[in-house]
Amino acid sequence: MIVGSRFAGFGHYVPERRVDNAELERHFGLEDGWIEARTGIRSRRWAQDGERLTDMAANAGKAALEQSGFAPKEMGFVLLATSTPDHLLPPSAPLLAHKLGMVSSSAVDLAGACSGFLQALVMADALVRTQAKPVLLVAANILSRRINWQERGSTILFADAAGAVVLAPSLERRGLLASAFVSAGAHYDLIGIPAGGSAHPFDAGMEPADARMTMRDGRKVFTLAVDMMCSLAEQALGDAGLAREQIDRFIPHQANGRMIDAVTERLRLPPEKAVRSLTEFGNSSAATIPLSLSLSQQERPFKTGETLLMTAAGAGMSACAVVWQVAHC
């Protein structure tokens, strides 16, 4: 009887092009070290010309599949969390599944922005438990092609990456222990790309900036995100019946270093428990948590019984927190 789900494989992909802070500091006329001091980021990866979102997602997905030992044809579902699909229509997940040789898998795009991976993880867990089939979950973004060069505060943060996990059925009562969600639609327009949807279609008279990402009030985004991430993390811990001392690793959304510091401190977690990938890889929205999971697995493999706390908040404004216990592989 399937009673839980387990991480069966991890994978990630980052583009070869590395953009160091010095390049952006020269562009914006900033002092050396200005970006790292304010964001905790030293470098980020940006996609090469011609590199597609589904190519990046396929590279991460292939790595996760190989580590899991499952064949592509064994996957029951493919979930792709992205804010930068190859096209507005059709969805990108079916193409991703095709590139990975998953001819009979159902494939769905999820547009949850920075919270997208955690939202998809909860959905994937439900699919695994009810369908008794493994699920490939990929989060990927090419944010560099949506950067607004008139907006320094967001340009220095965003990056491109893909992270993937394979979830498989488990006979252990582990895996997802608790989750919590919230959305604050009153702040819907704090982060976004103005044009491209049905409310503001692309047209010949459109301003170039309308097709680029904008962060209308960075301070408000910071305050809201920290509040949402902390309150949901506390709710999920309470629902799981766990104390913060029982968390082995904290994997927050890698928005910027100050946000990670603020959330970690407010939750009263030891700083060494917070996993960080943004120093070298920047903020790739939904991809940051699976990227961090994959890098953590490489550096120090997860052990059976380890308890993970993951939380994220972003555009929408939507947020999610998950408490996860590692099951035997």
By annotation, the residues acting in catalysis are 114, 253, 283
SS3 312: strand
For 43, list phi and psi in degrees, rounded to 5.
Answer: -155, 170
d(CA 145, CA 142): 6
Planar angle of CA 51, 52, 53, nearest 5 degrees:
130
The secondary element (H helix, E strand) that includes residue 320 is strand 318-325
Q: Six-digit token pair at 95?
A: 């193409």
In terms of phi and psi (left: phi > 0; alpha: psi -120 to 50; beta: otherwise), the region of 103 is alpha
β-partners of residue 183 are 318
Q: How far is CA 264 from the centre of its chain?
A: 18
* No. of helices (H) and no. of strands (E), the chain: 10, 13
Largest CA distance in the chain: 61
Say if CB 230 and CB 259 are below 8 A apart.
no
